[in-house]
Each structure stands twice: as C-alpha cells, then as structure tokens.
A and B are shown apart, each in its own frame.
Chain A
Amino acid sequence: MIEPMMNKNEYTYYLVGNVDDFTERLGRVVRLGNEEIAIFKTTDGRIYALENKSPGPRGGTIAEGIISGDVLFDPICDWKISLTDGQVLDPDTGQVRTYPVQVHVEEVRVGLLKNVGETFHE
C-alpha cells in the first residue's frame, strides 16, 4: 500500500487503509516505517492517529484503551487522553504525539513530517 502524497503542510501522507478497516471505538495498530501508531475511529466516524505509547508512568501502549466520544481512556493508567490533540486531561498531565489524518473517498492517510519520514526518530 505504498502511495506517498506530497502536501503543502510539509507532511508526507501515506495510505494506511480503508475507512472500513477500522472499527468504531476499537483501536488498531499501524506500523508506518519506524513509527508505531494507534488509529482510532470514533462513533461519529472521525479517525485519529496517535503514537502508540502511554503517557503514564507505567508505560505500555494505548491502542487497547476504551474510547468515549473523542476521549481515550489509557488501558494501563486510566488517564484521559484527548484524541484531537493528544493532550492528557485533568487531573493528570502530559501529551501523546499525534499525526495528521486525511480521509478522502474512504481512503485513510496518515502524515509524517516531510523529508524526515525516512530518518525521523532513528
């Protein structure tokens, strides 16, 4: 499914699947190059991509959390994480990295920073 697409916001978007490949309120892991990303689909059909890494003190992954609206409950530490910006909500603090998502004609694309898609983080 290699289909890079240049974008003026300096992101390169990669096709990761079809809207139907994702189930409402059940996270799914996507490995995009070196990145491990958790993709979530909310009840109203919006799709979000976050780094699959718990912001909490005990570590772990977040793809298995419970989704309510656009909030994710971390499966390890039960912190609330906003899907829209990765911000940890009160009373805890922290932030999970997010990736931009484009949905066009049922195709889901996740963006990595341009030019660093290859070398980013590694």
Chain B
Amino acid sequence: MVKVQDRRHLVLIGNGMAGINTVEQILKLAPSTYRITVFGSEPYPNYNRIQLSYVLEKSKAVEDIILNDRNWYLENGIELYTGTTVTHIDTEQKIVKADNGMEVPYDKLIVATGSNPFMLPVPGADKEGIVGFRDIADCQNMLHAADQYKKAAVIGGGLLGLEAAKGLLKLGMDVTVVHLFEEIMERQLDHTASLMLQAELESQGLKFATGKQTEEFLGDDRVSGIRFTDGTTLDAEFVVMAVGIRPNTALAKKSGIVVNRGILVDDYMRTSAPDVYAVGECNEHRGITYGLVAPLFEQGAVLAKHLCGVDTKPYEGSVVSTQLKISGVDVFSAGEFMDAEGLSIVRMHDEWLRIYKKVLLRGGRIVGGVLIGDGKESSRLQQWIRTGTVMTEAIHNAIMGQASVETGNTAAELADEEIVCGCNGVTKKHIVDAINEKGLTTVEEIKVATSASRSCGGCRPVVEQILQYVLGDKYDSAAAKQEAICSCTTLSRDEVVTAIKEKGLITSKEVRYALEWDNPEGCSKCRPALNYYLGMIWPTEHVDEKDSRFVNERMHANIQKDGTFGVVPRMYGGVTTPDDLRLIADIAVKYNVKLVKVTGGQRLDLLGVKKEDLPKIWKDLGMPSGYAYAKALRTVKTCVGSQFCRFGTKDSMGMGILLEKKFERLDMPAKFKLAVNGCPRNCAESTTKDIGIVGNEGAWEIYVGGNGGIKARLAELLCKVRTDEELLEIVAAFMQHYRETGKYLERTSEWIERMGLESVTEAVVNDLDNRRVLAERMEVALAQVKEPWSEILNNSNLRERMFEEISVSTKQD
C-alpha cells in the first residue's frame, strides 16, 4: 500500500453531490490511489441538494439531508475545507489558491462548482427580500421570511419554482407563481399536462400569474412588489427567483479554462487544461448542461473510472427525467414529451379521475412519457425510456391501467453503471453485488446495505425487479408485495391482523408460532406492534405483555438520557387547583427533582426522578398517570371558553375534561392529541391535533388528522354537529376506526392520507349504523383500562421487580 504522503494528490473544488459522489466512487475502485483534498464554499459537509424542498416543507431537518458527515471525511483520510472558496487555478504550475490564502498543489483536479440560480437582471433585483433557491442558506432565508411576511412571489414556473412555491405555501404564506410563458413546466409537460398540474396546484391554494414578464421590482430598500411589462403589478414582500440555473464557470473562466455555457468537457470529463476535469452542473457536455441529479452521477462514474485507470465506456449523455417532489401531486416526465412528426402517441386522459398518461414512440420504441395524477408506473416507464424498449401489449396495459398483466422483468436490460437510485447515487451493479455478496432477499435488506430507495423511495419497484432478476426462482414475490411489519416475517400489517382474527390467536407467542415468524421471540419492532393488535382485537381476552412494551410504556414514565425519568400526572383539560399545585410543589422538593417543566400539553412534568423513586412519587401524588409516555391519548388541550372568556361560545374546558376522562388510558396505534376550543379563534390550536374541536354558536366543528410534529399537517374538517351526544359518539367512532385500521406507530395524519378523508367520513359520520357499532366497540375497550400507577402500587411483586434495584456489597468481613 502506498503511503498517504507518497500518493498522487487529487484536489476537488466543490463539496456537493457531483464531486463527492465522484470521490466516493474513486474510494471504492482504488482506495489508496490518491491523497484527497476537498474545498467547499458552504459551511456544511456534502448534503442532498435535491431534498432541500423537504427542509423547506419542514418535513426534514438540515441534519437529515446530510449525505456524508464530517466523520466520513476523517475516516477516508480526506482533508476538508468548508467555508473556503478557491479563487484561482494555476493550470501551468498545477496549484489552486483559496480565499484564505491557502495554496495547494495538485496532480489531478476536479472542478465541481455546480451552478448558481439565475437572477433576472432587471431594475431593483438587488433589493432586500429577493433570494434564489439553491442552498441551505437560501432555505433558511425562506423559512425566516415565512415567519415575518405574508405575501410571496416565486418567479419561475419550472420544477424548482413550483417546489419552492409549495414549500412557502405550506409555511403559511400567500404565494403567487409568476411565469414568463402561458404554461407552467413547459420544458417537461405538454399543454394538457401543464393545465392539469396548474389546476391541481390551484386547488391546493397556489396562485398563478402566467404570461408575465418581470420588468422591475418595486419598493424602497425592501421589495414590496413586481411590475410586469404589460403594466400590471403584483404585491410581494418576499420574492424567490427560480427562473433557472447557470453553470458556475467563473473560476474556470478566470483560470483560462475553455468555457461556453458551462465548462467544456469531453466524454471523459476532461477540460481544456491538462489533468483538470469538470463534473456535474458546472460542465457542458456535447452542448448540453444538466440540472438534474442522475446525469451527474453518471458523469461521476465515468470520471472515477478514468482517474483510477479502470476501463470505461465514454459518457455519451443522459436521458433526463423529472419527478415533482411536492406532496399531493404525481407528476412525471422523461425523454420526449411533445407531439411531433414521426412519433406515434399512446394517450389516456381521464378528466374525472384527473389522470393523464402519454407515451411517445418512435419506430415502435418508447422514447418519452408524461404521467399526471398516477405515477405508479413512473420508475418502470423511465427504465423503458432509458433502454428504448419496444412497446408491447403488456407494457401498454401496465401503463394505461388495463387489467394487470405481467409485463416481464426488464432489469436484465439495465446497464451495470445505470443509476437506479438517483437520491443516493446507487448503480445497478452496487445492488447486484450486494445481493450476491451478502445474500440479500428483500428490498428492505437492500435498502439497509446500499441505501438504494432509502430517501424518496421512487426507485423501489426497479430495486425489486433487480432483486427478482438476480434471485430468479429463489425470489419470494409474496414477501415483497406488501411491506412486512418487521424483518421477522414477510406478512404485512393487514395480513397479520386478519390471521389473528381468523385463527383466533390470543398471545403474541401464538401469533409468531402460527404465522411462522423467523425469530421465535420477535424483535423490538413486532413485539410492541403485536401486543397492540392483540389488545385491540381481543380487548377482554388479551393479557397485556409488559415485556413487549417500550421502556416508557412499561415503566409508565418517560426515560431521560441520563437514565432518570420524567413524571407527568393528569391535569384534565389543563385545569388544576391551588391544592394540587401545592402538593406537586411539595413533592418536587421532597424528591429533589431536577426541573419542573410546564409542558406543551398544559400540565407539569417533574424531571430527573430516580427509577426507584417512581412508585413513591406516584403514591405521594395520589393522582392518575398523565400517559405522557404512551401510544394513547396524551392530553386534551383547552382554551378558557365560555366559563370566563368574553369570546367563548362553548364550554371548552368542560368538554375537554369530559373527553380526557372518557378516553384516557386506552391503547392507540400511536400517540393521540385532542384540543377543544370555545370559539373559532382557536387558542388551543385545534389544527395540529389528531382531533381538534372548535365551538361555534350552536354547533361543534370536528377537525381531524392534524399534526404539529416532524411532518406537520393541518387538520381537515370532518363534520359539524349540533349536540354534545353526537360529538361524543363521532369522536368515539373516529378513534375506534383508527384503532382498528391504523398501523402501529402510524399517526392519524399519515393514516388519514392513506385511508382518504372521504372514506373515513363515510365510516364514522355518514354511515349511522357503522358509527354506532364503532362507538359500542370503543365502550368495550374502554371498560378494560386500568390506572397504571395505582396498579403498580397495589402489586408489591411487580413494583419490586420493575423498580427496585438489588444492592450487594463487595466488602468482605
């Protein structure tokens, strides 16, 4: 092995996906060939730029989209300089110079400077409040703006602009998309598809100003609006420019490297300067500059092989495809998409289902396609376009939605180097090798081993086909069909629940035995899940299995990172008394708790309690458990309501306390939060609760499926009712329906998207018989619940075994 200092020196300018992916491939092919130094202008390690829209939607944090953390650089011996911009390349002396004065010599140099958002050069474009959408800093700007301002404009109705607009809309801004052309995404969609997408986005709340050319930005220091060339104006306190990207060629140009639109490269990514390469969005290959992720991985693969002296086919360009990463809209486009001479077109347009599908053929081969409203076949269609597959009846039926016909497996036709997972840059060969070397048999295992399909999941069907192709007869199709509840079994949630009912299985041991679990005692995924399903199906027969509960549910307290616990007693509806507060304060002092916290659920959390003190505290408190740890009803948040508030129309505290007392302690698939408001001002924040109830003059409105957590979602109106009795029955029916159909750990926000609001409304509101039966089953389940703290206090054996330590001295007499 060559010593590090004796290795040739590879310098990478640009710490983004294209450059780092190339380095990763080099490390795989020939780990000890190069000493590697990386420069990046941004202060972060390499992150997944295509997932910025998730950060904007707040469904992911910045840390979640980091692809290579700083440890990765350390482990691979890579010198990383973040926040450092290279300002000059001396291609004669082979030295790069950075803005901090560093000078680093290179043997090989990769330029991967990416691209910049194109800012319209119109008067006022330098005003405050006008940003691009390109990096984490832009994202943070946008998140910040959404807190302060209301009216936003996004200039550019392409992919990036629509993602940005949808993100800002989700953050609560009033968003107008301004587009130069009459039709949005005109570079990927035809007339029909474009109009359908616009209508869909309008129904979600986006506004559009199409056919508008920006002439000037209005306002003093800060932007206040936009004037268009037709004389009309638009108010905007915040503007995102997403009209396109420009390859970032400034450094190369300044250093005398030949640049056209991008840095010119040949089929091996070589630039005009010796030993200088350019990869990704900054380059121009055969007259094309790419702005999507798949081509840059394909370029990186060729470059890595070239640099490692491994034989490779030249890079000959990529077929690009587009998938819109915004929730609630399926949009796919790849290859050719416009009607033209010499093309035969297969088209299906269903205005009622709002589905549009179009496949373009040249000489019988598939050369392009557009899917709106139903993207199920998108990954396979993409594969057929890439490989130029000949249209067959089976393929036609698969895409156009005729009865399901076996379309055959086309994984064999994929080239080894073909990127299957665009998010993580995983090629077919990676997957095939992992299956063969590690003996993988499921997509889940492939995901763990290679990261393929780990991020957006769009390539899952192709991964599955590759698995099928590699395993041949050994491939177990049933295992792959539905997501298994854990790796101990191939059965899905529905299959397990059905079998429990049909076979009359009462204990989880019976389930695992009868359904032939691989692991006779299960795992940390299926144990709590089975315990829940069994309790839900057999409320009076099933005996709770404490050893299958997660620590918090077993100890009836919240474990903290130092091994101590948090204790939260019930405070129904967030209403308490001076006596109770005094008692809680005395106990906090007596047990020397580390902190008293007012929780988000309107009650008090005593933090830093030792395990062995838990039963003593419960005894002294004499209050029921607040279930702050459980997959069950947590709290019912209430506003003051008509008892005191001038605006209150309904007794929200009274109803909240009633609901909390009625439904507490019952196991649910996941945690469950309620709120009751006395008027539409909504002080108790109904919109982010599993059930949010809003009092009006003479009626209650019931909102469902809200979530203020990791994946925020606003609750939707289920129905309006006049009486308290109706309210209680519908709440009971809704909760029971969720208990009976929800997957373990699935919140109502995910559940309702899976089931559809209409189907849930039918089951728990409109179908009166079903509603009554659900509420009755709820009563049976509620009759079984017990207060856990007193149960433990009254059972000395349990208390001793679960909470008391055994202490043994090692001192010898």
Contact = CB atoms under 8 A, between A and B. Distances in A.
B563 A60 contact: yes
B808 A118 contact: no
Contact of B810 (A14, A43, A69, A78): A14
Interface string B796-813: 000001100111111111
Contacts of B288: none
B521 interface: yes
A99 B562 CA distance: 23
Contacts of B563: 60-61
Interface in B497-533: 519-524, 527-528
A22 B528 CA distance: 21
B547 interface: yes
B70 to A, nearest CB: 14
Nearest to B560: A60
A64 B524 contact: no
Interface string A79-122: 00000000000010000000000000000000010000110000
Interface string A1-25: 1101000000010111100011111
B520 A69 contact: yes
B112 interface: no
Nearest to A65: B551
Interface residues of A, number: 40
Given A23-B801, A43-B521, A17 B806 contact: yes
A112 B808 CA distance: 12
A30 B612 CA distance: 12
A31 B523 contact: no
B474 interface: no
B551 A4 contact: no
Contacts of B122: none
A67 interface: yes
B519 A2 contact: no
Contacts of A30: 805-808
A23 B554 CA distance: 14
Interface string B136-179: 00000000000000000000000000000000000000000000
Nearest to A120: B810
Nearest to B612: A29
Contact of B546 (A26, A33, A69, A117): A26
A32 B547 contact: no
Contacts of A25: 521, 547
Interface residues of B, number: 32
Most buried by B among A31, A64, A118: A64
Contacts of A73: 523-524
B403 to A, nearest CB: 41
Contacts of B448: 91
Contacts of B21: none
Contacts of A66: 523-524, 527-528, 547-548, 550
B561 interface: yes
Task: Name, among B521, B527, B563, B802, the residue most crowded by chain A CB atoms within 10 Å (CB to CB).
Answer: B563
Contacts of A60: 559, 561-563
Contacts of B528: 66
Nearest to B523: A68
Contacts of B550: 66, 75
Contacts of A59: 561-562
Interface in B550-566: 550-551, 554-555, 559, 561-563
A25 B545 CA distance: 10
B57 to A, nearest CB: 27
A23 B799 CA distance: 12
A91 B446 CA distance: 13
B806 A31 contact: yes
Contact of B551 (A16, A64, A67): A64
A29 B527 contact: no
Nearest to A68: B521
B805 A75 contact: no
A33 B810 contact: yes
Interface in B540-584: 546-548, 550-551, 554-555, 559, 561-563
A2 to B, nearest CB: 6
A82 B806 CA distance: 23
A117 B810 contact: yes
Nearest to B549: A66
B631 to A, nearest CB: 15
Contacts of B562: 59-60
B806 A16 contact: yes
A2 B565 CA distance: 30
A33 B806 contact: no
A4 B810 CA distance: 8
B445 to A, nearest CB: 10
Contacts of A69: 519-521
Given A28-B806, A32-B810, A68 B519 contact: yes
A51 B562 CA distance: 15
Interface string B754-766: 0000000000000
Contact of B808 (A28, A32, A65, A76): A32
B555 A64 contact: yes
A100 to B, nearest CB: 15
Interface in B655-688: none
A68 B523 CA distance: 6
14 contacts: A2-B808, A2-B811, A26-B801, A30-B806, A33-B810, A33-B811, A34-B810, A66-B528, A67-B521, A68-B521, A68-B527, A69-B521, A73-B523, A75-B559
Q: 7 closest A-B pairs (Cβ-Cβ)?
A: A33-B810, A73-B524, A25-B547, A64-B551, A68-B521, A75-B551, A29-B805
